[in-house]
Amino acid sequence: MLPEAGSPTAMLYKSRCGQCHAPYNPRSMTAAMWEIQVNAMQDRIRRAGLPPLDGADRKAILDYLTRNAGAE
Ligand code: HEC
């Protein structure tokens, strides 16, 4: 079960980051790792021909991942 399940942000995360693989649990990585992963995934999304995350969606998703991130 994802943190904040059912919230608009968790749903946004699931729809944008669960298209190619099951959405990873935010707790599985640290905040610093999430920043790297989201940037890497933007590249994947673009190369797959999917609409890239706009600034607001990227920020909402990264904020969601970092506030629920795991410890070191
Ligand atoms: C266009 C398809 C696609 C979308 C959309 C996508 N991913 Fe991925 N993701 C992949 C592929 C392919 C891999 C495995 C290869 C790799 O690591 O690059 C992967 C791997 C990962 C991994 C594991 C990397 C590792 O080092 O173990 C994480 C974490 C991840 N994705 C997070 C995300 C997040 C967060 C989003 C939303 C911003 C997202 N993904 C959206 C295709 C996608």
Q: How remote is the CA of residue 21 from the centroid of ligand 1, in Å?
A: 7
CA angle 19, 43, 34 (to 5 degrees): 75
Per-residue pLDDT of the chain (72 residues; tens, 9 = 90+): 899 999 999 999 999 999 999 999 999 999 999 999 999 999 999 999 999 999 999 999 999 999 999 997
- CA dist., res. 18 & res. 6, Å (int): 15
Is the Cα dihedral 18, 54, 8, 5 positive or negative? positive
* Contact assessment for residue 30 and residue 37, using Cβ atoms and an 8 Å cutoff: no
What pLDDT, on a 0 to 100 scale, did the predictor assign at position 7? 98
Task: Find out whether the beta carbon of 2 lies less than 6 Å from any atom of ligand 1.
Answer: no
What pLDDT, on a 0 to 100 scale, did the predictor assign at position 31? 98
Task: Find out whether the beta carbon of 69 lies less than 6 Å from any atom of ligand 1.
Answer: no
Give the side-chain half-sphere CA count within 13 A for 47.
7
Q: How remote is the CA of residue 27 from the centroid of ligand 1, in Å?
A: 15
What pLDDT, on a 0 to 100 scale, did the predictor assign at position 72? 76
